[in-house]
Structure 1
Amino acid sequence: MTLFSREQVLNKLQQGHSFYKAELSRIDLQNTNLDKGKFVEAYLKGANLSQASCKGADFTKANLIFAILSGTNLTQAQLCQTELNGVSLDGVNLQEGDASKAIFYDALIKDLNAPLIKLESADLSESQTTNSNFSGAKLNNVKLNKVNYDQVNFSGAQLYEAVAFAAKFTKIILREANLGKAKFIQSTLIESDLTQASLIAADFSKSHLSNVILKQADLLEASFKSAQLNEVDLTEASLFNVDLEGATLSQVNLSDANLQEANLENTIWENGNFSGCNVTGAIFSNAQGLSEAQKQWLQDNGALNIS
């Protein structure tokens, strides 16, 4: 039970009152103005904040588990280390908010507008997100394990050392995003755009990429061991020293890409395009599916262990 009524909360907010560690579970604050309100470590489990204006509000370390956040304006709000497990975010504005180290485990996110948000070291594992905008966001060290994301914009976002084990991404935009040292092991990317993205030393082992654009992307020392790449466009991409051992590559476009010193041992190929590709020092031991013409071209252009 809440210790404050809706009217009491609004009156105290007008007086500049802080709700530090206040018991506000299941309180109905929909359609209210909570701008710059102070709810640090407050207990707001199951609270209804639908259509509330919470611009610049401080929910640091607050408990918002199962809270209802539909149409809520959280622009520039503080949600650092906030617990948002199982929360429903529908049509919420989190632009320039700070949710570093927040927990969104099993959250249901739809039509979220969160450009430039800080989600560094946040945990969004097993969350589901559709039609949302995280452009320019900072998601370094974020956890995205077993998420299901559809039509989400991460253009220009920072996902350095992000971890996304067994995640599914469909129609994701990651143009010019930084995924350096990110781990997307056993994950699936479908119909997604990573043009000019940085994936230096990223790990996509055992992942499945289908109809993915990686034009001019930087995949220096990235790993795609035992991955499946189908209809992937790597035109002008840098794959220097990339590890593709055991990968299956079907209709992959490597025109004008840099495959120098790449490990392509035990790969399986179907309709690959190497036009203008730099394959100097690339190792093709036991590669299968290459045509005789491709083998000859690869050998003539410096690839190794062609058989």
Structure 2
Amino acid sequence: MASLQVHSLRAQDMLQGVDLAQPAYSKAELTRADVEAALQHRENGRNVDLSQKSLNGLDLSGLDLRGVDFRAARMNKTSLAGARLDGAILDQAWLIEADLTGASLKGAHAFASQMQRMKADGADFAQARLAGDLTGASARNANFSGADLSADMKNQSMGLMRAVLRSAVLEGARFRNANLASADLRFARAAGADFSDANLEGADAAGADLTGANWTGAKTEGLDLDSAQIDALAGAALAGAQNMDRARMK
């Protein structure tokens, strides 16, 4: 665990030295019409490539963006509400304060993505791979069933890559069968979340609100619950967790 902590100090810190006010991160080089035209002219069997494009602030809500390559694209404050992003590639994409309310991202791949303060209430991340920074994001009633939010232990050239849900709003979110091993859930607001059959081994949920959560069949060995709020009756399901004596029972 000590090595994880050392790596995590430098992991996912892409914001250091980045000026988000510069045009690449605050302006758009394409319009919604340009994106719609690209989608209409998809070649047979080939996906649309919008990698490394600046799409900041655009209204792309409701579009069918399934399978689109957004690798390293900048979409800060972009509206993707209700859009279909199933199977989309969002590796190293910038989605700071983007709006994905009600969007579908089934099977999407987001590695080293910047999603701080993103709005994703009611979004569907089922079977997605999420190893990005969602600090302060809102994902009330979102679906993460079968998603992989775990740490990537094989490729650590960029530091420890994992889902960072620090201070995220996850009330009522569904994490059934999700992999949250070594994920960062510190201070998350996850009251009423469903963690049934999820893997939370080695995850850090210090200070999180986990009241009313469903732990049926969850793997909680090494889950850090220091100062976390949990139900008094959840003790049996959390037998393998760490710092249970420091948790706040409700």
Work out whether 1:225 is the aligned partner of 2:216. Answer: yes
Q: Which has the higher helix share?
A: 2
2:192 to 167, 186, 201: 201
8 Å contact from structure 1 (residues 224, 244) kept in 2: no
Alignment of 1:33-52 (within 5 A): 35=29, 37-39=31-33, 42-45=36-39
Deviations 1:95-139 (A, max 9, x none): 010000011101122110110000000000011110101000100
CA spacing shift, 1:217–1:133, aligned 2, 3 Å: same
Moved over 6 A (4+): none
Work out whether 1:254 is the aligned partner of 2:226. Answer: no
Q: Which has the higher strand share?
A: 1
Computing the radius of gyration over CA atoms, which structure comes out larger, 1 or 2? Answer: 1
The alpha-carbon deviation at position 44 of structure 1 amounts to: 2.4
| CA RMSD across the alignment | 2.3
Work out whether 1:81 is the aligned partner of 2:62. Answer: yes
Work out whether 1:188 is the aligned partner of 2:179. Answer: yes
Q: 1:137 maps to what in 2?
A: 118
Alignment of 1:223-302 (within 5 A): 223-240=214-231, 243=234, 247=237, 249-260=239-250
Q: What is the alpha-carbon distance in structure 1 between the residues aligned to residue 67 and residue 91 of structure 2? A: 13
Q: What is the alpha-carbon distance in structure 1 between the residues aligned to residue 233 and residue 39 of structure 2? A: 47
The alpha-carbon deviation at position 41 of structure 1 amounts to: 9.1
Q: 1:12 maps to what in 2?
A: none
TM-score, normalised to structure 2's length? 0.77
Identity of aligned residues (%): 21
2:201 to 195, 205, 210: 210
Amino acid at match of 1:44: A
Structure 1: segments with no counterpart, 5+ residues:
1-32, 49-64, 261-307
The alpha-carbon deviation at position 145 of structure 1 amounts to: 0.4
Q: 1:292 maps to what in 2?
A: none
8 Å contact from structure 1 (residues 226, 248) kept in 2: no
Alignment of 1:107-126 (within 5 A): 107-126=88-107
The alpha-carbon deviation at position 66 of structure 1 amounts to: 2.0
8 Å contact from structure 1 (residues 223, 242) kept in 2: no
The alpha-carbon deviation at position 209 of structure 1 amounts to: 0.6
Q: Name which structure has the greater RCO, CA cutoff 8 Å, separation 6+.
A: 2
Structure 2: segments with no counterpart, 5+ residues:
1-26, 151-161
Number of aligned residues: 210
Q: What is the alpha-carbon distance in structure 2 between the residues aligned to residue 167 and residue 258 of structure 1? A: 28
CA spacing shift, 1:244–1:88, aligned 2, 3 Å: farther
